[in-house]
Amino acid sequence: MIVLGLETSSALCSVGLADEHGALACRSLTATTVHSEQLPSLIQTVLSEAIISLQDLGAVAVSSGPGSFTGLRIGMSAAKGLCFSLNRPLLVVPTFSGLAVSAATKHKAAGKILVALDAKKGDFYWGIFEMREGAVRAEGSVLLREPGDLEKGIGSREDLVVVTDSPVVAQSFRGAVMAIEEAREHYRGDLIAVLGVQQVGRGETADVTAAEPMYLKDFVPKRAPSRV
């Protein structure tokens, strides 16, 4: 089965393809316009390069967050639209799982992966993953933490890889862990597709109507500056 993967949870917009044998293609763009403008052309580019049509897709996987409120909504809406129009199953893949798998692929000696992203207003999205029998497994749920809680529950740091977009997090762990990875290098649509293929194998498809992104925080719209 060929799965299309959409990763729009950050400023990077990434689209990829995968099947049971692994990743097939991937294209990414850093946002110069909103994801809603980039996504259709990226999807078409990836399909064309892989010589695959929309009808060849067996399912659509989407990165579900946490992350950018706007990006997550755009990705989920696009994935649902494709699933409805093609009559294909929807696969909802946690964003942090994709980041952790990407980092673990680069650092094969890692024992644990910490993903800690800036959630704004002094908060951080925080999730820990462990390598078990060659697979990346989540240790509990993704949490919302404050700076003073970033290092709680980490344990040994010698085999820890930290994935972050925050200088605060990087400074907290600098010199004490195996590696610190910049998060933007690990947002990959092909890995969302790979994890989607695995979900299909486990029968973990989502309800296209009810599926929603994982926000963890309430959306607070920006206010336009007042004019006097």
Q: What pLDDT digit, counting tens, does each position of 105-151 carry?
A: 999 999 999 999 999 989 999 999 999 887 899 999 999 999 889 88
Q: Model confidence at 205, in pLDDT bands (50, 70, 90)?
A: very high
Q: What's the rounded mean pLDDT across residues 1-22?
A: 96
Q: What pLDDT digit, counting tens, does each position of 31-88 carry?
A: 655 677 889 999 999 999 999 999 999 999 999 999 999 999 999 999 999 999 999 9
Report which of 5, 183, 215, 168 is spatially closest to residue 99, judged by C-alpha positions.
183
Task: Indicate the helix (H) or strand (E) that contains 135.
Answer: strand 135-138
Rounded to whole angstroms, how far apart are CA atoms 201 and 4? Answer: 15
Domains 2-95+187-201 and 96-185 share a fold: yes
- Global pTM reads 0.91
- Report the chain's C-alpha Rg in angstroms: 18
Per-residue exposure over 83-122, b if at least 16 CB sit within 10 Å of its own CB, e if not: beebebbbbbbbbbbbbbbbbbeebeebbbbbbbbbbeee
CATH fold group of domain 2-95+187-201:
Nucleotidyltransferase; domain 5 (3.30.420)
pLDDT at 34: 65
Place of tokens 């993704």: 142
Q: Indicate the domain borders of the chain.
A: 2-95+187-201, 96-185
pLDDT at 218: 59
pLDDT at 31: 62
96-185: CATH, from 3.75.10.10, 3.40.50.300, 3.90.870.10, 3.30.420.40: 3.30.420.40
Place of tokens 């996504």: 39
